[in-house]
Amino acid sequence: MNKYPKVGIRPIIDGRLGGIRESLEDTTMNMAKVVAALFKQELKYPDGSPVECVIADSCIGGVKEAAACAEKFRDNNVGVSLSVTPCWCYGSETMDMDPLLPKAIWGFNGTERPGAVYLAATLAGHNQKGLPAFGIYGTDVQDLGDAVIPADVKEKLLRFAKSGLAVAIMKGKSYLAIGTVSMGIAGSIVDADFFQDYLGMRNEYVDSSEVLRRIQQNIFDQKEYEKALQWTKKYCLEGEDFNRSEKVKSREEKDKDWEFVIKMTLIIRDLMIGNDALVKIGYAEEAQGHNAIVSGFQGQRQWTDFLPNGDFPEAILNSSFDWNGIRAPYMVATENDALNGVSMLFNYLLTNTAQIFADVRTYWSPEAVERVSGWKPNNLAEAGFIHLINSGSATLDGTGRQTVNGKPVMKPFWSIDEQEAEECLKATTWYPANLDYFRGGGYSSNFLTKGEMPVTMCRLNLVKGLGPVLQIAEGWTVDLPENVHKVLDERTDRTWPTTWFVPRLNGSGAFKDVYSVMSNWGANHGAISYGHIGADLITLASMLRIPVNMHNVASSDIFRPSAWSSFGMDTEGSDYRACQVYGSLYS
């Protein structure tokens, strides 16, 4: 049963009976219905079902009808509130007063009735009462009753609804930390206050030994394991062992590693979301899971110094397919980097697509590339590029073997066909783990992301005294000549997946050049999503009161609550000041 939060739509009307209200009833309610139809057609939940809307039972002309609407919203799991009106109405009597619901107002741009006046008056009311709301107002004047939603209005409606639903879907879910801090990485020092205050999430923890316990005591679905083992043998190509001869494992040991990492995959998923099959074998408690929308696996080093690494479980879970067919990806952060896990989650909830987890590893200047490989970068790569690579935990969707009109893409799972899933698997080689890094063995995925995909890399960071900040870099994946890729790639680790990334530059600040992007990136990891979604991320961040400290999104595409403009004329400074004044959403 679909338990996702819904979008609540509030048709607002001039409450004066005796001629005015009556003349506007149909127009106002139809405006709400047109928006609901737009959302249902254009937006989907993570399971692929259409977004659902709840419309107030009547137009809202005063406080009694506003209260009745609020009660309906509470009873129907509404997580996002949108008010629409073609006319003047009574602002503070009809506005949405729920402090936790992301909210917006669409004031119709028409001359017959002053919808824009209501918009301005009620946004002022929201700002005065400390309830930030987004204002939506079309560029062009329309005729009263026009059922067409202009393109600029549609863009803002969809951006608001997508971001608001992301906020609502996260609320009440868990981040599951499997293990603790990995190799001193600050992002894996899980900050429970951040999750609670900013995301409305709770934190769950299990020791890594819980994974080992379940393997040793066979606390997993044996039938699914047998199915997964056969699927893995068929579709997961094992590569050459590059370890020194004295370290190479025997065939028997390697086969046992395969069995081990497949069981790890089942168990990490079960820890996240539960599995009713465990009830039948006497483990009803374990069957419940941790209600986790995102998780992280510590791995290094306490685990990987003596047991197979988590590369296979992480890569398969982060992908949109496995032995059970094509399905929604799970968000699993390498090295328990909770902040990159949240970054992946933001991207995922805005796009419904799998996410690439990677180190932001190396900036390659054109001069360095030419010196090392003899090739002078050109086209998208002419100003240099960034090597995104980490041990093989990145989603296999990141191979770029899914296509639209012959171009590489990453799709929501419901748009992927079996052939595309198989192509992603064929493009991936599973190398025996580098035993210098991973003393316990395992398998790391290796693939090369196809070039010319539009992508967005983001990263959430925590700064003492400031709180969370978000970084965003839109750009493209790029292709290098095969021999150049080989030379550069093998300077790092040839058993890991590679994405060559070029950010879009604007000639100033952090985006003056590719080096500056790398230099200003706030951590060792990044979350990479298909598509240019920076504007959506900025809107989402403003709802959560998280300032954006670095982005290359056009100013015309930035959409934040109306109140932000009251905090100064410098857009990014006003973002910081507004977030500081309003504080975290759930604190």
**Active-site amino acid positions:** 335, 359
**How far is Cα 491 from Cα 486, in angstroms, rounded to an integer?**
9
Q: Cα dist. 251→255, 306, 388, 489, 503 in Å? A: 6, 18, 32, 27, 43
Helix (H) or strand (E) holding 575: helix 571-582
525 is in an annotated binding site: yes
Q: In whole angstroms, give the CA distance from residue 426 to residue 438.
A: 25
- Quickly count: other Cβ atoms within 10 Å of residue 125's Cβ: 18
The position carrying tokens 């001193």 is 184
Ligand-binding site membership of 485 (annotated): no
532 is in an annotated binding site: no
Whose CA is closest to 72, among 85, 83, 84, 58? 58
How many other CB atoms are found less than 10 A from the CB of residue 30?
15
Specify the residue for token string 């030994």. 209
Cα–Cα dist 495/315, whole Å: 13
**Cα gap 5→298, rounded to integer Å:** 31
Phi then psi dihedrals of residue 64, to 5 deg = -65, -45
Exposed e or buried b per residue across 325-347, where buried means at least 16 C-beta atoms within 10 angstroms of its C-beta: ebebbbbbbbbbbbbbbbbbbbb
Whether 126 contacts 4, CB under 8 Å: no
- 6-11: strand order across its sheet: 53-55, 6-11, 78-85, 103-107, 134-136
DSSP string, 207-272: -THHHHHHHHTT-S-HHHHHHHHHHHHHH-EE----S-GGGPPPHHHHHHHHHHHHHHHHHHHHHH
Dist. CA 475–CA 452, nearest whole Å? 9
The annotated binding site for Mn(2+) is made up of 335, 359, 525
The annotated binding site is made up of 335, 359, 525
